[in-house]
Amino acid sequence: MSFNTFGLMFRVTTFGESHGPAIGCVIDGCPPGLEISPQEIKEELERRATGRSRHTSQRREQDDVQIVSGWFDGRATGTPIALLIENTDARSRDYEQIKRQFRPGHADYTYWKKYGIRDYRGGGRSSARETTMRVAAGALARKWLRLEFGVEIQGWLAQLGPLRTDEVMDWDSIEGNPFFCPHPGMVPKLEEFMDALRKSGDSVGARVNVIARNVPAGLGAPVYGKLDADLASAMMSINAAKGVEIGAGFASVSQQGTEHRDEMTKEGFLTNHAGGILGGISSGQDVVVSTAFKPTSSLRLPCRGLDIDGEEVEIVTKGRHDPCVGIRATPIVEAMMALVLMDHVLRHRAQSG
Ligand code: EPS
């Protein structure tokens, strides 16, 4: 078993390595008739792409997506949809120096322990390049959910390092800055922080939140098919994810029952500490998920590490790395939200019609 497939009824299999010839995915289970165009997918991909600002990796990929299967006259045919994107700007020489070394904090070590071989160029399959295909597949799910139920999914940067960035929620400003920051007043502070961080050569973590509105009640199955469990699994499958919260999440620890319970009135729920999910099933409230991303482990600042012979070596990573992967994570968490919700709608229909 190699587990490159995600979802049960809306199944996405991704393939490809960061420095290989191409990356791609196969989407099995897309309802026939969905109108989709490469341009629509590309618009989503551009939000996630590297090189949009000086605060991300400067690798420049065109991310021109080809739909090579399951598509006719602009619509999904119901057969497997295959998407393909060529890698055009990989610079593998940056990785020569670490090809026999394990970057501390990176999957290099565990890939080696597991497989006994690794594509060291760009981290191979462990690269965040893989998330391109999640966003591509997510574009289809997102569109279908919007057309079927009016589901709207929006992510945002909630914290970058020490800087809390969502104390003001100006929804209209999220797409207008390279951080997906909802608080316009924080953008200059983020710029300043990131410029200093980049100069220092270090990296930093981030928290990225996502909300899905107009989610129908009833998605998710009790016990082993909980919607929140699948969302947590989906978010944790993103590169560098280290924690997930649903609704109040870990803040629930210090809450009392009278505060946490979301009182219900004829006008609706009064609060949403549950994050839109009760007993693993969507309640019809907004579904709210928060994901923590660790600091990037590829750093030009030297550190102690091991090579494949077990010798201690000094490790310096060259290349075009993101000083904060969380900056580009917003479209990815949105895509994972869309993929999980769509899968659960189809699962719900399969049982309940
Ligand atoms: C990545 C390292 C960098 C990023 C890459 C993710 O790649 P490279 O070493 O080839 O320059 O550019 O991100 C993308 C290419 C992308 O499309 O997201 C990593 O180690 O995860």
Closest C-alpha to 298, from 129, 142, 169, 141: 129
**Contact (CB, 8 A) for 104 and 315:** yes
Tens of pLDDT along 244-288? 999 999 999 999 999 999 999 999 999 999 999 999 999 999 999
| Nearest-CA residue for atom 6 of ligand 1 | 128
**Relative to the CA of 49, which ligand 1 atom is closest?**
17
Quickly count: other Cβ atoms within 10 Å of residue 312's Cβ: 9
**Contact (CB, 8 A) for 274 and 283:** yes
Tens of pLDDT along 296-339? 999 999 999 999 999 999 999 999 999 999 999 999 999 999 99
Tens of pLDDT along 128-185? 999 999 999 999 999 999 999 999 999 999 999 999 999 999 999 999 999 999 999 9
Per-residue pLDDT band at 188 (split at 50, 70, 90): very high
d(CA 335, CA 45) in angstroms, rounded, equals 10
Note the pLDDT of residue 2: 81
Note the pLDDT of residue 89: 97
Q: Which two tokens stand for residue 23?
A: 């990356």
| Nearest-CA residue for atom 20 of ligand 1 | 127
Beta-bridged to residue 76, according to DSSP, are 71
Residue 193 has pLDDT above 90, yes or no: yes
**Is the model's pTM score more than 0.95?**
yes
Residue 50 has pLDDT above 70, yes or no: yes
d(CA 8, CA 89) in angstroms, rounded, equals 34
Q: Which residue ranges have their beta carbon within 6 Å of ligand 1? A: 18, 50, 57, 59, 61, 90, 94, 122-123, 127-129, 132, 239, 298, 319-321
Mutual angle of helices 227-236 and 330-352, in 10-degree steps = 150
CA of 21 to the centre of ligand 1 (A): 14
CA distances from residue 193 to 74, 239, 329 in whole angstroms, order as listed: 44, 23, 18
Determine the average pLDDT of the residues in 55-81.
98
CA of 326 to the centre of ligand 1 (A): 13
Tens of pLDDT along 82-126? 999 999 999 999 999 999 999 999 999 999 999 999 999 999 999
Q: Which two tokens stand for residue 46?
A: 């551009």
Mutate to test the pocket of ligand 1, among 47, 296, 321 (most ligand atoms within 8 A of CB): 321
Q: What is the mean pLDDT of the chain?
A: 97
d(CA 90, CA 79) in angstroms, rounded, equals 32
Residue 236 has pLDDT above 90, yes or no: yes
3-state helix, strand, coil in the chain (%, to 5): 35, 25, 40
Per-residue pLDDT band at 1 (split at 50, 70, 90): low
d(CA 196, CA 242) in angstroms, rounded, equals 25
